[in-house]
Amino acid sequence: MKLFNRRPGSSPELSSVSTSNAQSADGPSESGTSLGQKARMAVFALSLGLAALLSALILPYLIPILVTGWTSAGAAELGIHRLHVMGISVVVTVFLLGLFSQAYRPKERIATMWGAFVIIAVITAGTLGFGVGRPEEVIPFMLFAALAFVAHPAGRGLFRRGSTYSPALLALVLVAAVPLLAFAVGQWSLSTNPADSHAAMGHYVMMAALAIAPLAYGIPAALGFAGWRLAGWLAALPIAYYGVMSVGFTTQSGSTGVMWGIAAILWAIAFVAVVEVSQVTDSPALRRGVGDEMDALGEAQTVPKR
Q: Where are the domains of the chain?
A: 36-152+161-283
235-260 pLDDT, tens digit each: 999 999 999 999 999 999 999 999 99
Rounded CA-CA distance 203/91 in Å is: 12
H or E segment and range at residue 289: strand 288-289
Report the pLDDT value the prediction gives residue 292, as an integer from 0 to 100: 62
Rounded CA-CA distance 228/165 in Å is: 9
Which comes out higher in pLDDT, residue 306 or 172?
A: 172
Q: What is the mean pLDDT of residues 185-204?
A: 93
Q: What is the mean pLDDT of the chain?
A: 88
Q: What's the pLDDT band for 33 if we cut at 50, 70, 90?
A: low
Rounded CA-CA distance 31/28 in Å is: 8
* pLDDT over 90 (residue 302): no
Those residues whose C-beta lies under 8 Å from the C-beta of residue 110, and which sit 6 or more positions away, are 152, 154, 157, 158, 160, 220, 225, 226, 227
**Lowest-confidence segment of 16-30, 62-76, 224-238, 252-266 by average pLDDT:** 16-30
Amino acid at 154: A
Rounded CA-CA distance 13/196 in Å is: 60
Which comes out higher in pLDDT, residue 58 or 292?
A: 58
Q: What's the pLDDT band for 279 if we cut at 50, 70, 90?
A: confident
Rounded CA-CA distance 173/258 in Å is: 21
Those residues whose C-beta lies under 8 Å from the C-beta of residue 274, and which sit 6 or more positions away, are 166, 168, 169, 172, 232, 286
Q: What's the pLDDT band for 21 if we cut at 50, 70, 90?
A: very low
* pLDDT over 60 (residue 208): yes
